[in-house]
Structure 1
């Protein structure tokens, strides 16, 4: 067992030369400050978890924010790598090694861009960041990133790299579901990431106070048409922030699912009013693939909080029906 653990620990080391440029979003520069820009017009790409998708998004000048999922898993070869080296295939060995690690509770796995239940990808966190950096260093159409953390271990590795390279920018969102929200309860097996572990991780790394904390609620089935963000849900979020002494310099964006948020203006207002006394606060509106809700109600929600305080991260066909023009 000691031998396996030592080998696993040796494999955890990876190096990244990565410094994020500032002023990534041309359409809404300094957008995290709130009150001065139209955040609703920021454009997003989702689940950019492969080499091919990342190349497409980097080449698309219309995309301003890249969202990708960070998970422990298996790094597999890309199609290009397979063409270059058709006789070398280590995926089976890696899969077996991954299963042995899981069975023996060994902590090392590759850090890859994958959304559970997927546990493999041809894109590592290291490659993802390197490619975005290379793009931003050469282009005047720079892109921000949103890393959706699916496991606490990749978060700590990512923050370590950020500290090493003095990378702290509000155009970088670190996202996690840290509270049980609508349609969920604390007794279900699919639990959110522990809020204390997530927020405490930032305290271990100095100089990251400008990174945007995107902290939200794990939500359940969209079939629960009457579910809302309750007072309990927002109180738990406020408690998590207060109990863990979140650095007051952190911008905070609360991701809220549209199907529930449109019926939750009073409680979300309470959350905004409470937290914005200390922090720069925004909301990020998102939607599930099968969610149905009133566009008029969504417009009402956006208008209530205002364009400088709401990111609208929903499919283009829905977004095109909204009035997101300033003035």
Structure 2
């Protein structure tokens, strides 16, 4: 009798384990790691995210034309809804309410070139109509497409973040290779003791991102990195879908030494450096010298 009970218990345990394994594999199926570096590999020669060049605030026709003919790999632009009729997504950064180019026109201009794009959403109302345009224009292309929004309050952040679940619901239909760039609102003031990313901040972000199927990059402010190493190191290690994108404000103060722990500790494919070319080149050479 005892042997029979043990056999039944063992059989049930094996069945449950098998079901759990199938569920886990199925749940992970379709999840993507970041393919951005693979796309640019013929131009950057090795899988080092510090080699990727960025252009910012490409929010008008002349700036777009300039960048498309240059050496930039990734083009960043801001999206809002036009402030008056006809209401549609346009390329502009608040407090601007109008632009000489709509998102539809911008995408039409980009699609004939081999640049990656990062679209930074400044309002929730612009997301859903923009996703429709993205699906129509870019669904069949392999180019890197990054969708950025600040969805949580971060160190020193004063701006109101976009509501996380509303934003993620609006972008859920984008192709699985689309990179979600999910960040915190931040602030930085010279001459003061600026706080870094806290444990509560990174835990809250990871809880939001752990079940997503898209690759995720976390944009982090360079001037806040020295006081945030343990927290961001933990966050980056939670999934092979995660990367960091280091950026800086125009008036922020930072040095190469602030960035070296991240550069030396982590795989070079895991941290992008959206920084001035001179500093980004220094970082690239640092790893080259190490190797």
One fold, TM greater than 0.5? yes
Counterpart CA distance in 2 for 1:316 and 1:109 is: 37
The alpha-carbon deviation at position 325 of structure 1 amounts to 4.6
Closer/same/farther in 2, CA of residues 197 and 59 from structure 1, 3 Å limit: same
Match in the other structure for 1:232: 200
| Matched ranges for 1:2-21 at <5 A | none
Specify every segment of 5 or more residues in structure 2 that has no aligned partner in the other structure, as ranges: 1-36
**Secondary structure at 1:284 match in 2:** strand
Counterpart CA distance in 1 for 2:221 and 2:95 is: 21
Match in the other structure for 1:145: 117
Match in the other structure for 2:236: 272
Match in the other structure for 2:98: 120
**Secondary structure at 2:269 match in 1:** helix
RMSD across aligned positions (CA): 2.3
Matched, 1:66 2:30: no
Matched, 1:178 2:155: no
Counterpart CA distance in 2 for 1:270 and 1:170 is: 29
Match in the other structure for 1:27: 43
Closer/same/farther in 2, CA of residues 121 and 57 from structure 1, 3 Å limit: same
Deviation digits for residues 75-118 of structure 1, max 9, x if unmatched? xxxxxxxxxxxxxxxxxxxxxxx2xx7xxxxxx62311111111
The alpha-carbon deviation at position 308 of structure 1 amounts to 1.1
The alpha-carbon deviation at position 200 of structure 1 amounts to 1.3
- From 308, 312, 315, the counterpart of 2:269: 308
Specify every segment of 5 or more residues in structure 1 that has no aligned partner in the other structure, as ranges: 1-21, 30-35, 75-97, 102-107, 137-141
Counterpart CA distance in 2 for 1:167 and 1:232 is: 39
Matched, 1:262 2:278: no
The alpha-carbon deviation at position 306 of structure 1 amounts to 2.8
Match in the other structure for 1:253: 217
Counterpart CA distance in 2 for 1:281 and 1:222 is: 28
Structure number with higher helix proportion: 2
The alpha-carbon deviation at position 59 of structure 1 amounts to 0.9
TM-score, structure 2 as length reference: 0.79
Counterpart CA distance in 2 for 1:324 and 1:54 is: 32
- From 29, 46, 51, the counterpart of 1:41: 51
Match in the other structure for 2:161: 192
8 Å contact kept, 1:228–1:261: yes
8 Å contact kept, 2:61–2:101: yes
Match in the other structure for 2:209: 241
Deviation digits for residues 291-312 of structure 1, max 9, x if unmatched? 1123112122222223111111
Counterpart CA distance in 1 for 2:38 and 2:258 is: 33
8 Å contact kept, 1:199–1:246: no
Closer/same/farther in 2, CA of residues 70 and 167 from structure 1, 3 Å limit: farther
Counterpart CA distance in 1 for 2:242 and 2:217 is: 6
Counterpart CA distance in 2 for 1:259 and 1:225 is: 11
The alpha-carbon deviation at position 168 of structure 1 amounts to 6.4
The alpha-carbon deviation at position 48 of structure 1 amounts to 0.4
Closer/same/farther in 2, CA of residues 114 and 262 from structure 1, 3 Å limit: same
Match in the other structure for 2:136: 164
Closer/same/farther in 2, CA of residues 121 and 324 from structure 1, 3 Å limit: farther
**Secondary structure at 2:82 match in 1:** strand
**Secondary structure at 1:308 match in 2:** coil
Paired residues, what number?
Answer: 249
Deviation digits for residues 187-233 of structure 1, max 9, x if unmatched? x5x31011111111123x2x611100000111023335331011011
